[in-house]
Amino acid sequence: MTQPPVISSARPEFWSEFIELTQTLGSERLLVETLLKSLSQQVGALGAALYFDVGGILERQISVGGDLLPVRLDPSSGVGDPQVLRVPGGIVRFRMQTGGDPGLQPAAVATLATATRALLLSERIKRQRFEVNYRGVELEALFDVGLAIASTLNLEKLSEEVLLRAVSLLDARRGALYLIDGEEFTLRGTSGGSACERVAAGGPDVEALLRMETPVEQQVMPGAQYLLAIPIDTERGRQGLLVVADKESRQGVGPFGEGDRRTLGLFANQAAIAIQNAYLHREALEKQRLEREAELAADIQRQLLPAAVPFIDGYELAGWNRPARHVGGDYYNFIELPDQRLSFLVADVTGKGMPAALMVSTLHSALHLLMDRQPLDAELMQGLNNHIWGSSASNKFITLFLGVLDAASNKLRYVSAGHNPALLLRAGGDVQQLGAAGMPLGLFEESRYAFGTVELDPGDLLCTYSDGITECESPLQQEFGVEGLTDLLRSGADRPLPAVVRAIDDAVLEFAAGADQGDDQTLVLLRRQT
Amino acid sequence: MTETLKVTLEKRAGLAVIYTEGYINNQGGEEIARVAYEQIDAGEKALVLNLQGTKIVNSIGISILIEIIEKMLEIDGTLSFCCLTPTIEKTFHIMGLSQYAKIFPDEASAITELTA
């Protein structure tokens, strides 16, 4: 680049040369620099510098003749100094070899004042343009953080994004982000320097930090002089802290202002949304996992139920089960025995859901193991009770109705462990209840059981069921009842059993009228063909 | 304690490339300016600022970078940036730095174009 010409106020062409410079030089700064060089040379100064008042301190803007003059001056330092010339926005200081007055001509003073005024205005415009642009950066940053929150559920990444944006936009020298972890806030990210790893939540330390009280601030961010902390609050309470330290300027660091608090608050709000989203996402994933597990458990439980109804010559059979949840505490089964005999049962575990389903599994296994080893009699029932008693919680028990049909003799042996009486609808219309002859399984150790026997005539229908059917409630809290079930059995006397099961299913659903199913529902029907 | 920006200088294909690692704030910006002005005083007219190691820059840092750009313009030189994070690149566009300084996606493309 070509060096600008040196001009002299001593020459008559000074004004025209000055005007020429204003038109040819690319910037106000270069114009002032050229003038300072020219005038320094003209008056024999060792050097000269222009200082502008920046926040009460005179800061050197332009220096010629090397680094002879200090970078900063106290505003009072030039008072009465003949080497100091007042100009718009500050001073020009000459460094004379002798220390005397540089003796500037009025034309030189006028041009210098004009040029420094132009420089001052251009610097102001530049600063204002910078500030306006920077507001744009702030808005864009908040927008970007909002977009990031909408596009990812990675809390680590979002925390870093929020922290970096907050630190940079607030001109903070340092920053830290804490998230709640039990009884304390744990450091999740820092920027620009270290911070303490943990802050006790809910204690005086946090409250003091939020009030900007110095002793605690220094513990949170060692070495920091000024802190600003904002809580990250969600519907679940205080979830974290966003902390920034030491607001920077060209002169050093200082405290944060009210505007900074508002800006940091906006970032804390964004962080709160991100945290809330992350929690909801985590909960949704957990729910999905539990649902998958429940589906799996339901599959396993379905496999405990009979895949098909066995064929017994001269009899019709049907079984049906609807759990209140994915898995249930009701159980039914058919177990074919030698010599045209069939065992069937309906059982109901106290409670619902997974704990009840586990007990169903226990009952299924224990019954099959015992039946492989011994006859299906009172002793087996006692052994079954003892097994359930020994492997279940004290408040858990199982009611059960078990029948053993001898199709050759048409005799039915049955035992009930505290279960609802089975309904035996005789072909003639009478209803006989086959009631309990023993305590529920698992309720007491060493319970005793006794089998009863009935003979089945052609057209007789036996219905064993769980109380989920008879105690099904309507929206008006009325129960479906044993009568409701008996009526349906009567009306289905001439229909195939699957049709009777469907009729009961439909009637129960209609009775509930959309209300939540309160309990598992199970049904086993046995009819001697006419 | 406070971390400070690390600045290193390397000559690549005759170009002075300044690498930064850390936060470009007041201290960091001044350190970059110190290294840049040394290069300007040594006669360099093309500087490349590789910000691969920088994720964050504040307004003071930007104002110092603008001063370096102005200084380069005064000597008819150029300051170029490369390897900016999307956030910093967007900030430079909004603040107008990209009007006076070239921005390259990577150092290789910066060197290729500036030495062509």
Distance from first CA to last CA of chain B, Å, rounded? 44
Q: How many residues does chain B have?
A: 116
Output the pTM of the full model: 0.64
Sheet of strand A398-406, all strands in order from the earlier edge strand to the far edge? A330-337, A341-349, A398-406, A411-417, A452-455
For residue A337, what is the DSSP state? E
Q: Indicate which CATH number applies to the domain containing A410.
A: 3.60.40.10
- pLDDT recorded at residue A218: 56
Kindly state whether residue B1 falls inside one of the protein's structural domains: no
Contact B26 A250 (CB under 8 A): yes
Predicted confidence (pLDDT) per residue in A74-101, tens digit: 888 777 888 999 999 999 999 998 878 8
B66 vs A contacts (CB less than 8 Å):
130
Residues A215, A351, single domain; the answer is: no
CB nearest to B59's CB, from A140, A164, A171: A171
Q: Indicate which CATH number applies to the domain containing A18.
A: 3.30.450.40
Q: Pick the residue with more confidence: A3 or B18?
A: B18
Residues A355, A404, single domain; the answer is: yes
Predicted confidence (pLDDT) per residue in A348-374, tens digit: 998 777 888 889 999 999 999 999 999
Kindly state whether residue A145 falls inside one of the protein's structural domains: no
Contact B59 A134 (CB under 8 A): yes
| Mutation site, B31, B44, B58, B89, interface A, largest A CB count within 10 A | B58
Residues A490, A384, single domain; the answer is: yes
What is the domain range of residue A419?
305-528
Cβ-Cβ pairs closer than 8 A, A with B, add up to 80
For residue A111, what is the DSSP state? H
Distance from CA of A272 to the nearest CA of B (A): 22
CB nearest to A223's CB, from B2, B74, B91: B2
Mean pLDDT of residues grouped by 10 in chain A (530 residues)? 72 85 84 92 92 90 89 83 90 87 87 93 92 91 82 80 90 93 90 88 77 65 89 88 92 90 90 83 89 86 90 95 85 92 94 84 94 93 95 87 96 96 94 89 93 96 96 91 95 93 95 87 94
Residues A510, A373, single domain; the answer is: yes
Looking at this protein, which amino acid is placed at residue A465?
Answer: Y
Percentage of chain B beyond pLDDT 90 is 87
Kindly state whether residue A172 falls inside one of the protein's structural domains: yes
If one counts every other C-beta atom within 10 angstroms of the C-beta of residue A303, the result is 10
Kindly state whether residue A336 falls inside one of the protein's structural domains: yes
Residues A395, A518, single domain; the answer is: yes
Kindly state whether residue A287 falls inside one of the protein's structural domains: no
A234: tokens are 């969600």
Average pLDDT over residues B80-108: 95
- pLDDT recorded at residue A502: 96
Contact A193 B26 (CB under 8 A): no
Q: How many domains does chain B have?
A: 1
Contact B56 A169 (CB under 8 A): no
Kindly state whether residue B98 falls inside one of the protein's structural domains: yes
Mean pLDDT (chain B, rounded): 94
Q: How many domains does chain A have?
A: 3
Kindly state whether residue A141 falls inside one of the protein's structural domains: no
Question: In degrees rounded to 5, what are phi and psi of residue B57?
Answer: -145, 140
What is the domain range of residue B43?
6-114
For residue B44, what is the DSSP state? -
Q: Which pairing describes strands A411-417 and A452-455: parallel, antiparallel, or unpaired?
A: antiparallel
Residues A75, A122, single domain; the answer is: yes
Q: Contact at 8 Å (CB) between A241 and A230?
A: yes
User: Of A463, A338, A340, which Cα lies nearest the Cα of A409?
Assistant: A340
A126: tokens are 């530049």
Distance from CA of B10 to the nearest CA of A (A): 25
Report CA A85 to chain centroid distance, whole Å.
65
In A381-528, beta strands by DSSP E: 398-406, 411-417, 422-425, 431-434, 452-455, 461-465, 521-528
User: Of B13, B14, B21, B18, which Cα lies nearest the Cα of B4?
Assistant: B21
Residues A352, A224, single domain; the answer is: no
- pLDDT recorded at residue B2: 67
